[in-house]
Amino acid sequence: MQITFLGTSSGVPTRSRNVSSVALKLPQKAQLWLFDCGEGTQHQLLRSDLKSSQISRIFITHMHGDHIFGLMGLLASCSLSGNVEQIDIYGPPGLNEYLQAGLRYSHTRFSFPVKVHAIRPGVIYEDSEFTVSCNLLHHRITTFGYRVAEKDRPGPFDIEKAKEMQIPPGRVYGQLKRGETVKLPDGRVFHGAEFCGPTEIGRKIAYCTDTIYCENAVELARDADVLIHEATFSHQDAQLAFERLHSTSTMAAQTALAAGAHRLLITHFSPRYAPGNPIELKDLLYEARAIFPNTDMAYDFMTYEVPRRRNVQLNKLGASQSS
């Protein structure tokens, strides 16, 4: 699971930062999921080593232009390239009308099915490996935060041990691998847990933008391996954050702390903190780290490989903080 930031500026792009989009690469599925799609996202994809043809799902937080203006262009280009099978798009009400109007007035047709899902709080997607849920954030218009949770899976199966114990290979191995209890015809009983390594804990990622500090963001980020949270403003500009319903860097850090998240990646920065201004972006990072030390500041094309937590026991005791 690899996160790539394709845009980290709020409102307008700058020379070094495009507007919002984050890609989540799922190598086990050979799929790419996008979170938001600001204008120019397709150009950012071309400049990255990600493949647009792998995009299968796009999750939109809200209908502000800096999060959706790239959608039509990206989908139209995918159509012309002809190598996309289907894209499912999730987002607030109005998203489908927006796309339909774009299609109609630009005389565009998608060459593959584009399925738009108007979401409500709760689970919005689930398969054998992942659950994606959403909840409302607190912004000027209807805005959703997302949580992607990989399902836990049993640790690696110790086939040598099974052979040593003269358990016949075949169906029984499959049952033990899944952690089931098996009774053999000779009366011996085996528990899957005896043959499997520690459970591989599923990774969890939360994506919360745009929002001022809110409890729903804390819940979405509960125990997350990575929280991606907006930090539009510096703590010193908190008044602006309250007026525009955005977060300061300290609010992002407080959310991560309250949620027990393991790492915080802040993004969606106001262009006002460009170098040479009284407050610079590095100040936002210092402010956040003072509250939540495990914070990094995203930049365009930054990638982050989400580490897997190694040992279930250690994590239960709180002794292992994956970095």
Query: Nearest Cα to 80, choosing from 121, 50, 111?
Result: 111
Closest separation between CB of residue 210 and Zn ion, Å?
Answer: 4
**Given candidates 17, 25, 64, 229, which one binds Zn ion under the rule CB under 5 A?**
64
Residue 140 is encoded by which pair of tokens? 């000027």
Q: Is 235 in the site for Zn ion (CB under 5 A)?
A: no
Q: Is 39 in the site for Zn ion (CB under 5 A)?
A: no
Q: Is 36 in the site for Zn ion (CB under 5 A)?
A: no
Question: Residue 95 or 167: which CB sits closer to Zn ion?
Answer: 95
66 is catalytic: yes
How do beta strands 122-126 and 295-297 pair? unpaired
Which stretch, 26-34, 101-109, 206-214, 218-226, contacts Zn ion (CB under 5 A)?
206-214
Closest separation between CB of residue 271 and Zn ion, Å?
Answer: 12
Catalytic residue among 36, 49, 66, 158: 66
Taken in order 207, 213, 216, 219, the sign of the CA dihedral is: positive
Q: Mark residues 170-189: x for contact with Zn ion by CB under 5 A, - for none.
A: --------------------
Closest separation between CB of residue 12 and Zn ion, Å?
Answer: 10
The residue count for the chain? 323
Which stretch, 21-29, 68-76, 175-183, 205-213, contacts Zn ion (CB under 5 A)?
205-213
If you search the block for the tokens 């071309």, which residue do you land on?
46
Which stretch, 128-136, 202-210, 221-229, 289-297, contacts Zn ion (CB under 5 A)?
202-210
Q: Is 246 in the site for Zn ion (CB under 5 A)?
A: no
**Distance in angstroms (rounded) separating the CA atoms of residues 109 and 40:** 20
Q: Is 66 in the site for Zn ion (CB under 5 A)?
A: yes
Closest separation between CB of residue 239 and Zn ion, Å?
Answer: 18
**Distance in angstroms (rounded) separating the CA atoms of residues 259 and 247:** 16
312, 320 in Cβ contact below 8 A? no
Closest separation between CB of residue 281 and Zn ion, Å?
Answer: 16
161, 196 in Cβ contact below 8 A? no
CB-facing half-sphere around the CA of 275: CA atoms within 13 A:
2
Q: Is 17 in the site for Zn ion (CB under 5 A)?
A: no
Which stretch, 9-17, 71-79, 130-138, 270-278, contacts Zn ion (CB under 5 A)?
9-17
Query: Which are the contacts of 121, defined by CB distance < 8 A and separation ≥ 6?
Result: 133, 134, 135, 136, 144
Which stretch, 63-71, 72-80, 214-222, 282-290, contacts Zn ion (CB under 5 A)?
63-71
Closest separation between CB of residue 176 and Zn ion, Å?
Answer: 49
- Contacts of 295-299 with C-beta under 8 Å, sequence gap 24+, read 295/252, 295/253, 295/256, 295/263, 295/264, 295/265, 295/266, 296/263, 296/264, 296/265, 296/266, 297/265, 297/266, 297/267, 298/5, 298/8, 298/228, 298/265, 298/266, 298/267, 299/5, 299/8, 299/16, 299/17
Compute how many residues bind Zn ion; rule: CB under 5 A. Answer: 4
Q: Is 200 in the site for Zn ion (CB under 5 A)?
A: no
Query: Nearest Cα to 3, choosing from 21, 19, 17, 15?
Result: 21
Q: Is 287 in the site for Zn ion (CB under 5 A)?
A: no
Query: Site residues (CB under 5 A) for Zn ion?
Result: 10, 64, 66, 210
Q: Which residues are catalytic?
A: 66
